[in-house]
Amino acid sequence: MREKKNKKNDFVVPIVVSLLLHVVLVVALLWSTDFNMPKPQASGQMVQAVVIDPKLVQQQANEIRQQREKAAKKEQERLDKLRREAEQLEKNRKAEEEQLRKLKEQQVRDAKAAREAEEVRKKREQEQKVAEEKVRQERDRAAKLEAERKVKEEAIKKAEQERVAKEAAAAKAEQERLANEKAAREAEEKARREREAAQKAEQERIAKQKAAAEAAEKARKEKARLQQLEKERKEKEAALNDIFSGLQDETAENQQARSRYVSNEIASQGAIYKQLIENKLLKDRYLLGKSCRVNIRLIPTSTGLLVSNVAVISGDAMVCNAAKSAIAQVGEFPKHRDDAVNQELKNINLTVDFE
């Protein structure tokens, strides 16, 4: 308000000065005009008189009025421009408030989705326990059948002893004995085949488990190898930058130093963000050794960087869901002391690992 008043005073002073100068000019013209009529001379000479030109006076008045109108129009245009700028600022403020409100609503929805995902996981875990109980019961039933088979086998042996004792019995009894022996052999063969099939299935399960463990170990070693290669590449790149930096002027050196500083600070800040996310992860044995790469969009606020959007780049689906849930729980990440670093952190890619 004080600035607007000062600007208005800046226009008033020149206008007043201009009016005073024109008034002084008109007075001077009038003062220089002789209104006294000369006395008649006997000599018969011509009478001379100075006459005020009304057109000149009107022209001076028009110029004064035009200057005042021009100054007033300029002041009105300036006031209109200030009013439009104030309206635009108010619209921008309301738009930002609306965006923040939508972000908070999205965070509530993300938290709800995380709770629902946790409920689904618990339900699946309960179903898995029920399935394991069924397997145990089936195993007990198989053991019971095996015990019954052994009892029957003992009965067959006893019948065989009775057959030896009654060898002189009728041919019909002999035929019945032979039939019973055949049935026993078939039952034994069937049981043997079932035992072999069960052993083969167990061996295949152990082999698959071993192959999965070897694949996970191989992936871990490959990841470590790639990290080492990346480290060596960065060291070589830093060495080359040091070599070529001596050939560049001071401005180029400052720019490179600034770029390296920003890159290092982004990496350091990214490690902090990654630690915050992994602290919120729900640990699950199934997810160990897996990872997910995500893109996070952040909006600067007065206190930190607020999460506006999370997009999956690549990785295991369950890991990515857990990572998105953890990011939603973090909500707001800490800001860096450097605005240039915060500007780069507004769009950052991170890899979340389950270790």
The reply to whether 4 falls in a domain is: no
The pLDDT tens digits for 97-129 are 898 899 889 989 988 988 998 998 999 889 989
Q: Let me know if 180 is exposed, middle or buried by CB neighbors in 10 A (0-12, 13-18, 19+).
A: middle
Q: Give the contacts of 218 (CB within 8 A, at least 6 positions apart).
A: none
Let me know if residue 209 belongs to a domain: yes
**pTM of the prediction?**
0.31
Q: Write out pLDDT tens, residues 233-242.
A: 888 788 777 7
Mapped onto helix, strand or coil, the DSSP state of residue 354 is coil
Assess if residue 119 is contained within a domain.
no
Cα distances from 200 to residues 108, 205, 206, 212, in angstroms, run 51, 9, 10, 18
Would the pLDDT of 47 be above 50? no
28 vs 47: CA distance, rounded Å: 23
* 7-21, 103-117, 318-332: the lowest-pLDDT one: 7-21
Indicate whether 291 belongs to any domain.
Answer: yes
Q: Give 326-330 contacts, CB < 8 A, sequence gap 24+.
A: 326/277, 326/278, 326/279, 326/280, 326/281, 326/352, 327/277, 327/280, 327/294, 327/296, 328/107, 328/110, 328/111, 328/113, 328/114, 329/111, 329/114, 329/280, 330/273, 330/276, 330/277, 330/280
pLDDT at 167: 86
Residue 9: the pLDDT is 59
Q: What's the distance, CA 147 to chain centroid?
A: 62
Mean pLDDT, the chain, rounded, equals 82
Residue 317 lies in a domain: yes
Half-sphere exposure of 164 (CA within 13 A, CB side): 5
Tokens of 352: 């979340």
Other C-beta atoms within 10 Å of 351: how many?
15
Q: How many separate domains does the chain show?
A: 1
Residues 109, 310 contacting (CB under 8 angstroms): no
Name the residue range of residue 289's domain. Answer: 190-354
Domain CATH code at residue 319: 3.30.1150.10
- Cα(132)–Cα(187) distance, integer angstroms: 29
- State the burial class of residue 294 (Cβ atoms within 10 Å of its Cβ: 0-12, 13-18, 19+): buried
pLDDT at 219 over 90: no
The CA-based angle 60-62-68, given to 5 degrees, is: 105
Query: Which residues does 353 contact at the CB level (< 8 Å), separation at least 6?
Result: 278, 290, 291
Sign for the CA dihedral angle at 78, 84, 87, 92 comes to: negative
DSSP class of 190: H
Residue 198 is assigned to a structural domain of this protein: yes
**Does a structural domain hold residue 246?**
yes
Q: Looking at the domain assignment, is residue 179 inside a domain?
A: no
What does the pLDDT look like over 68-95, one tens digit per residue? 999 999 999 999 999 999 899 899 999 9
